[in-house]
Amino acid sequence: MNAPENERGNGYLRVGDNFWMYRKNTRTFQHVNRDESIGGSDAHSDDFETRKLEELYGPVVDSSGTEKFSAEMLGKVPVYKFEVKARVNDVDYPRQIFWTRRDNNLLLKQESYSLSGTLMQTAYFLKFTEIEGRYVPVKQLFIDEFEKGNKTIVEIANMVPGRLDDKIFTKAHLENLSK
């Protein structure tokens, strides 16, 4: 990582289901669970997972078996709102609500709830960029609803499409970067 300054030289590596955090000051790796925060932020490793939503969650239905789905406005933006519940046990949040744009289906807002129904986190997807025909979120705001006042902005810059050398995704590479 290059910023913020207190995180410079630290790094993160995910291989399969394993996620590690490298600390420059101690030159050690620490295994990170899906529900742990990343770099003292309000983002969790599960927020960056690539598992398919349809494998993890199914639609919430009402008593008649109809999916909870509605057309609404989020501010001045026409959106679809829908709710999902976990199909598996290893997710951070067993219930989530999503707001997606009606014109292009991009995710704008996500609320994440605990098993007891407590709102734990709200995420806003503030900016997207198009790379090779796909929209990628490049600015996100994560709000910790449990510990009021905690917020994290994640910004991604200078993305370049293409294949990276496999050696980049190793613990040795992370260690060498901090020397």
Residue 1 domain-assigned? no
Strands (E), 87-177: 95-101, 107-113, 119-131, 134-144, 151-155
In a domain, 43, yes or no: yes
CA dihedral (64, 69, 71, 76) positive or negative: positive
* pTM of structure: 0.71
State CA 2 to chain mean position distance.
20
- Here the CATH number for the domain that contains residue 77 is 2.50.20.10
Q: Is position 13 within any domain?
A: no
The count of other CB atoms within 10 Å of the CB of residue 6 is 10
Q: Residue 62 belongs to what domain range?
A: 37-163
pLDDT truncated to tens, each residue of the chain (179 aa)?
566 677 777 777 777 777 787 787 788 887 777 666 666 665 665 655 567 888 899 999 999 999 989 999 999 999 999 999 999 998 889 999 999 999 999 999 999 999 999 999 999 999 999 999 999 999 999 999 998 889 999 898 888 888 888 887 777 877 777 66
- Distance (Å, whole) CA 143 – CA 124: 8
Joined together, the tokens standing for residue 81 give 């709102």
Domain total for the chain? Answer: 1
